[in-house]
Chain A
Amino acid sequence: MRKTILLAVGGLAATPVAANDMQVTLEIPRLRVAEYHNPYVAMWIEDEAGKVAANLDAWYDVDLKGEEAGTKWLPDLRTWWRRAGRSLKMPVNGVSGPTQPPGRYTLRFAEGTRPLGQLAPGRYNLRVEAAREVGGRELVTIPFQWPPRSAQTGAASGSSELGAVRLTIRP
C-alpha cells in the first residue's frame, strides 16, 4: 500500500498533469450459427512500425488445461500471435482473461499502471483482433495520437467477429 502511494506521488512530481486515461468499448456480436464458442480476443497498442507498445487484453479459455489447453488456439489470433503472443508466457498477469459472451464491454486503462504503462509521445494504433473456434477471424485498427491534448475518440467496426469498437482518450 505504501509503495503505491509513493509511486503515485513520484508520478505527480514528474508530470504535473494527472495521468492520461484510455477507454475502449467493444462489441462481440451475437451470431446465429449451429456451433457457437465465445471468441478469443486480443487487444494491444502498436507503434507506426508495428512494434507492440502495450498488451492490453487477451481473452481465451484460461481455465482449459491438459492435453488441449486453452492456449492451443492462441495462434488463431494471427496478427497478435506474431506481434506479441508467441513471445509471451501465458497467462500474463493483468492481460489474460476468460472469454466473454456476446455483448458490449467497456475497458479502462490508465497511464502509468499495468497493462498500459507509459507510452512515449507519438502516433499509435489500437488493434483489436477476434478469432472464434469453428468461426472466422477479424482485426480492427483505430489510430490515435499520444499523449492526447484534448479528449479524442476513434471508432472502427468489424463486419463478422467484432461489432463496433470505440476508443476514447482523455488527458
Chain B
Amino acid sequence: MFARPTLLAATFALGLAALLPGKAEAHRRWLLPSATVLAGESGTVSVDAAASNGLFTFDHRPMGLDDLVVTGPDGQSVAPKVIGTGEFRSVFDVPLAQPGTYRIAIASDGMMGSYTLNGERRRFRGGADQVPEGATGVQMARTVGRTETFVTLGGPTESALQPTGTGLEMVPVSHPNDLVTGEPAQMRFLLDGQPAAGLEVEFVAGGTRYRDDAGIEMLTTDEDGMLTLVAAEPGMYYLEAARRTGEGEAQRNASYTAVLEFLPL
C-alpha cells in the first residue's frame, strides 16, 4: 500500500507529459514479458512494467497496474497475479492456463490537466471540478493511453487481438508472436476503430544502454494505417505512437506503446 502514492504520481506525470506541448519528458512506457513464445499445456510469464528513457532498463518510475487488462486466447479476461510495485518497476505474473495468444495491456482513459495557482504550476487528474478557485492557465484534455505486449503458449491465435475501437490501437496483421529478423512484419494502426493514416511511429531496439546510437527509426503509416516493421537484429523492440485530436475543451490525446520480440530464425 505504501507504494500507491508513488504509483499514482507516475501515471499522472506520464499522462501529463503527453499533454504539454513541446515537453519531451514523456518517458517510454513498457511491459516487458519474461518470454513471448512458450510451450506446454500451461505456463507463466512474469512481466515488468516501467517508464524509463533507456530500453529496457527500469531506472525511472514504475507503471501503475490499476488499468492492467489481460485478455486470454478465448477473448475472456485473465486475472494477473500482482507481485507489487517498487521504486522503479511494477511486477506481475500472468498464468497461462490454456494454449494460444494473450494480450497484456495497460489501457487508461480519463481527463487530465494542469493549472497555475499562487505562481505554481500544478497537475491534476479528473474533470473541471478538480480546478480550485483562483487557478489560471487551465489546460485540460482527455487522455487515452494503451501500453501492451503479447505472449503465446503453443500455437498463435487471433481472438485476443481484436481492437476495442477506443483510442490508438495496433491490430497485428503479422502475428505479434511470430516475428523474426529479416521478415517484414505488417501492423495496422487504428484511432477509434478507423485507420490511423500518416501516423508517425517510433521503432527502437532494446539495449540502448550498450550503444551510442539512439537507434530510433521513425516510420509512418500509409492511408490504411498500415506499417511495415523490419528488424535487422533479433531482440525486444519498442513501438510508440501518439495522436492529438480536437482543440480546447475537446482536446484528446491518444497514445500507444508496445513491446514486440523479434527472434532469430
Interface residues of A (CB under 8 A from B): 69, 71-75, 78-79, 81-82, 85-87, 90
Selected contact of A78 from candidates B41, B155, B156, B264, CB within 8 Å: B264
Residues in B whose Cβ lies below 8 Å from that of A69? 40-41
Selected contact of A87 from candidates B43, B155, B263, CB within 8 Å: B155
The answer to whether B200 has its CB under 8 Å from any CB of chain A is no
Residues in B whose Cβ lies below 8 Å from that of A72? 38-40, 43
Residues in B whose Cβ lies below 8 Å from that of A85? 39
Dominant SS among interface residues on chain B? loop
- Which of B40, B43, B152, B263 has the most chain A CB atoms inside 10 A of its CB? B40
Q: How many residues of B contact A (CB 8 A)?
A: 15
CB distance from B25 to the nearest CB of A (A): 38
CB distance from A92 to the nearest CB of B (A): 13
The answer to whether B7 has its CB under 8 Å from any CB of chain A is no
**Cα distance, A87 to B154, chains bound together (Å):** 7
Dominant SS among interface residues on chain A? helix
Interchain CB contact under 8 A, A71 and B155 = no
A-B contact count (CB 8 A): 34
Interchain CB contact under 8 A, B265 and A81 = no
Interchain CB contact under 8 A, B265 and A71 = no
CB distance from B176 to the nearest CB of A (A): 14
Residues in A whose Cβ lies below 8 Å from that of B263? 78, 82
CB distance from A134 to the nearest CB of B (A): 17
Interchain CB contact under 8 A, A78 and B38 = no
Interchain CB contact under 8 A, A86 and B154 = yes
Q: A78-B264, A86-B152, A86-B155 are in contact. List 9 more A-B contacts (CB 8 A).
A: A72-B38, A72-B39, A82-B178, A82-B180, A82-B265, A86-B39, A86-B156, A87-B155, A90-B39
**Cα distance, A69 to B41, chains bound together (Å):** 9
CB distance from A2 to the nearest CB of B (A): 37
**Cα distance, A90 to B263, chains bound together (Å):** 22
**Cα distance, A40 to B156, chains bound together (Å):** 22
Residues in A whose Cβ lies below 8 Å from that of B43? 72
**Cα distance, A73 to B38, chains bound together (Å):** 8
Q: Which of chain B's residues 38-67 have a Cβ closer than 8 Å to chain A?
A: 38-41, 43
Interchain CB contact under 8 A, A81 and B37 = yes
CB distance from A84 to the nearest CB of B (A): 10
Residues in B whose Cβ lies below 8 Å from that of A86? 37, 39, 152, 154-156
- On whether A71 and B178 interact (CB within 8 A), knowing A78-B264, A82-B265, A86-B155, the answer reads no
Q: Which of chain B's residues 239-265 have a Cβ closer than 8 Å to chain A?
A: 263-265
List 16 A-B pairs, Cβ < 8 Å: A69-B40, A71-B40, A71-B41, A72-B43, A74-B39, A75-B37, A75-B38, A78-B263, A78-B264, A78-B265, A82-B178, A82-B180, A82-B263, A86-B39, A87-B154, A90-B39
**Cα distance, A85 to B41, chains bound together (Å):** 13
Residues in B whose Cβ lies below 8 Å from that of A71? 39-41
Interchain CB contact under 8 A, A81 and B39 = yes
**Cα distance, A81 to B41, chains bound together (Å):** 15
**Cα distance, A74 to B43, chains bound together (Å):** 13
**Cα distance, A72 to B265, chains bound together (Å):** 19
Residues in A whose Cβ lies below 8 Å from that of B264? 78
Residues in B whose Cβ lies below 8 Å from that of A75? 37-39
**Cα distance, A167 to B152, chains bound together (Å):** 35
Ordered nearest first, which 5 A-B pairs have the shortest CB separation? A74-B39, A87-B155, A71-B40, A86-B155, A75-B37
Residues in B whose Cβ lies below 8 Å from that of A78? 263-265
CB distance from A155 to the nearest CB of B (A): 23
Residues in B whose Cβ lies below 8 Å from that of A73? 39
Residues in A whose Cβ lies below 8 Å from that of B265? 78-79, 82
Chain A residue with Cβ nearest B37: A75
